């Protein structure tokens, strides 16, 4: 396995972790907005 293969795999994994976190935050944000919208 070459260095570049390892680097690509590493960054792909990191990127997926970050996007998962962002999506989770976005989902929570949407839920909060809906909750606020129903309260108003």
Query: In total, how many domains does the chain have?
Result: 1
pLDDT in the model for residue 17? 98
Phi, psi of 2 (to 5 degrees): -85, 165
Which residues, other chains included, contact 21 with Cβ-Cβ below 8 Å and sequence gap of 6+? none
Domain that holds residue 16: 1-40
Q: Over the stretch 1-40, which tens digit does the pLDDT of each residue have?
A: 688 999 999 999 999 999 999 999 999 999 999 998 887 6
pLDDT in the model for residue 37? 86
DSSP per-residue codes, the chain? --HHHHHHHHHHHHHHHHHHHHHHHHHHHHHHHHHHHHH-
Q: Over the stretch 12-21, which tens digit does the pLDDT of each residue have?
A: 999 999 999 9
């Amino acid at each position: 396995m070459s260095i570049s293969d390892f680097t690509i795999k590493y960054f792909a994994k990191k990127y997926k972790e970050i996007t998962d976190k962002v999506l989770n935050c976005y989902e929570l944000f949407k839920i909060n907005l809906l909750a606020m919208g129903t309260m108003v």
